Amino acid sequence: MLILGIDTSTTAISVALHDGARVVGEAATLDARAHAEHLAPGIRSVLDDAGAAPGDVTGVVVGVGPGPFTGLRVGIVSARTFAFALGLPVHGLCSLDALAHEAWLGGRRGGLLVATDARRKEVYAAEFVLDDRGLTRLAGPVVSRPADLDIAWRSLPAAGRGPLLYPAEFATSADDGSEPSGIRLPRDVSAGALADLAVRRLATGDPLDGLEPLYLRRPDVSSAPPSQKSTLG
């Protein structure tokens, strides 16, 4: 098994390889505006670091958001194209689940809010509970202004960039995402955590998500209306 993980739902353009037991290569670039430029080099980098060729990959998993329209589309289209070219299965996973899973891998247990940057002074958010078996998403994802989220959500420890961008609205706002316990909560999606979660769910037969992107709202760019040409001679 060699799973290629891809996520472009946050500021991080993240790529990883997972051999079924552990992450064997991972690359991430922080750039909110150039997902397409960084993704292909990231894929080549993790393959080279693992001493693998594209033909060694046995499956692909991609984060389906929620996330901004353009960045999210780059990751999903690239994952589908890579998988199609090699005749591989391709799966989708909610990117907020991957953030919660990374927090779980880091030792976090109990309630958790994941809140990522949705721009327009909003966040994408979901509530989770983490126990020794893994994560359960209790509610969400939703898109909302931070102050409009339920106060019970905002009182939870929070992963993602929401607490960093809006520290007055969230319980966890340290720059490094650390809790008093010393557990560090992730800010951006790790493709390694995404791939690890996919491997665990495939092994147990738990369902993965489809490939439909979770935009949660209309894209920022829309088609121009038809021109109104005069019919007067």
- Is 174 a domain residue? no
Domain check: are 77 and 140 in the same one? no
Residue 9 corresponds to which tokens in the numbers above? Answer: 């739902």
Q: What rounded mean pLDDT belongs to the chain?
A: 90
CA 154, 159, 161, 165 torsion-angle sign: positive
What range does the domain containing 8 cover? 3-95+189-204
Domain check: are 148 and 65 in the same one? no
Backbone angles phi, psi at 159, to 5 degrees: -95, 165
Give per-residue pLDDT as tens, 132-183: 999 999 999 999 999 999 999 999 999 999 999 999 999 875 565 566 567 8
- Is 47 a domain residue? yes
Domain check: are 12 and 79 in the same one? yes
Give per-residue pLDDT as tens, 8-31: 999 899 999 999 999 999 999 988
Residue 204 corresponds to which tokens in the numbers above? Answer: 């147990």
Give per-residue pLDDT as tens, 204-213: 999 899 999 9
- Is 35 a domain residue? yes
Determine the pLDDT at residue 35.
80
Domain count, the chain: 2
Residue 40 corresponds to which tokens in the numbers above? Answer: 């292909």
Give the CATH number, domain containing residue 90: 3.30.420.40
- Is 180 a domain residue? no
- Is 29 a domain residue? yes
Q: Is 132 exposed, middle or buried (0-12, 13-18, 19+ CB in 10 A)?
A: exposed
- Is 111 a domain residue? yes
* Secondary structure of residue 54 in the 3-state scheme: helix
Domain check: are 69 and 133 in the same one? no
Domain check: are 135 and 81 in the same one? no
